[in-house]
């Protein structure tokens, strides 16, 4: 029996990453068409409004994907052998980095339906599911993702890199605080990178208009946005629960990192930022 498709957010972000390769100029910030291959979107998908009129949002998704991938590779090069993706969606680090991923344990945490669909489609499309790729089903609001993680073989006494993108928007502040507290239980010197979103009052111009559209779209699809934060709020919150070496970086800051001197003038939207810290 075919599995239920992931939610629209997971599908859209995967297609945005593919669209970057298909219509933007080289050099590509990240080359990721794996999700596109799994989804097999309908003909003319590039002309959909959520694809055609969201260039800066798409660019910010590309930027965050590259940023997280760079962090993951950096940590792995330093000997970290456990990579945890909270809200993995259709992330394809494992499939695109076979030489690296074959030497580490990767734990993809997401909703049961999303993981089941992804696993089914990977197999259908000829991607091998290795023994060190672990699909960990959980509900962030009702289940302890850390307990689930450990039950799937994660070694809490070994350092890890933990990424979490596009999740906190949908969580209550209580669930976010609980997640940050769980991060402090990881082995010392483990690195975490979690994305958060700015409230509307901190946005201007096109960034504000796009966020207003996203909020309406999310509510209409039954997955409303719940939590927004200013960077200083998240910094204070992270430090209060015991996280260390706390810093924030926005997708707009990533312009200098990944988008210098491009002929296509790609610039990320200024709505998302990352908390990067140590356990």
Cα first-last separation, the chain: 42
pTM recorded for the entire structure: 0.95
- Quick one: average pLDDT of 205-229? 90
117 pLDDT more than 80 = yes
Count the Cβ atoms, other than its own, within 10 Å of residue 130.
13
Q: Give the model's pLDDT for residue 213.
A: 87
Token digits for 135?
Answer: 């699909």
| CA separation for the pair 230, 210 (Å, rounded) | 18
Count the Cβ atoms, other than its own, within 10 Å of residue 186.
25
| CA separation for the pair 251, 270 (Å, rounded) | 6
Q: Where are the domains of the chain?
A: 8-278
Q: Which of 61, 20, 47, 14 is CA-nearest to residue 210?
A: 61
Q: What is the CATH number of domain 8-278?
A: 3.40.50.150
Q: Give the model's pLDDT for residue 1.
A: 63
pLDDT-based confidence at 65, cuts 50/70/90? Answer: very high
Show Cβ contacts of residue 167 under 8 Å, excluding neighbours closer than 6 positions.
86, 87, 140, 194, 195
β-pair type (105-110, 244-250): unpaired
Sheet of strand 161-164, all strands in order from the earlier edge strand to the far edge: 133-137, 105-110, 82-86, 161-164, 191-197, 272-278, 244-250
Q: Give the model's pLDDT for residue 3.
A: 78
pLDDT single digits (tens) 158-192:
999 999 999 999 999 999 999 999 999 999 999 99
Q: Which of 167, 107, 124, 109 is CA-nearest to residue 34?
A: 124
Task: Compute φ and ψ for 30, nearest 5 degrees.
Answer: -150, 145
Lowest mean pLDDT among 4-8, 36-40, 232-236: 4-8
């Amino acid at each position: 029996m075919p599995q239920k498709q992931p939610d629209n957010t997971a599908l859209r972000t995967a297609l945005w990453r593919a669209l970057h390769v298909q219509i933007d100029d080289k050099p590509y910030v990240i080359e990721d068409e794996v999700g596109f291959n799994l989804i097999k979107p309908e003909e003319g998908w590039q002309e959909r409004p959520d694809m055609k009129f969201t260039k800066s949002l798409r660019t910010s998704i590309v930027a965050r994907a590259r940023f997280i991938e760079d962090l993951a590779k950096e940590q792995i090069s330093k000997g970290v052998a456990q990579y945890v993706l909270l809200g993995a969606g259709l992330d394809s680090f494992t499939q695109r980095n076979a030489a690296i991923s074959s030497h580490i344990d990767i734990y993809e945490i997401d909703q049961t339906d999303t993981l089941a669909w992804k696993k089914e489609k990977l197999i259908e499309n000829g991607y091998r599911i290795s023994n060190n790729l672990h699909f960990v089903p959980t509900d962030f609001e009702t289940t302890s993702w850390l307990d689930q993680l450990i039950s799937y073989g994660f070694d809490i006494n070994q350092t890890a890199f933990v990424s979490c993108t596009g999740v906190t928007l949908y969580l209550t502040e209580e669930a976010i605080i609980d997640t940050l507290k769980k991060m402090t239980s990881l082995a010392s010197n483990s690195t975490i990178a979690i994305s958060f979103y700015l409230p509307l009052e901190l946005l201007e111009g096109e960034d504000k208009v796009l966020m207003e559209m996203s909020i309406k779209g999310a509510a209409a699809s039954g997955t409303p946005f719940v939590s927004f934060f200013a960077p200083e709020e998240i910094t204070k919150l992270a430090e209060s629960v015991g996280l260390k070496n706390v810093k924030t970086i926005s997708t707009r800051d990533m312009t200098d990192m990944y988008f210098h001197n491009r002929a296509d003038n790609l610039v990320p939207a200024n709505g998302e930022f990352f908390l990067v810290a140590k356990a």
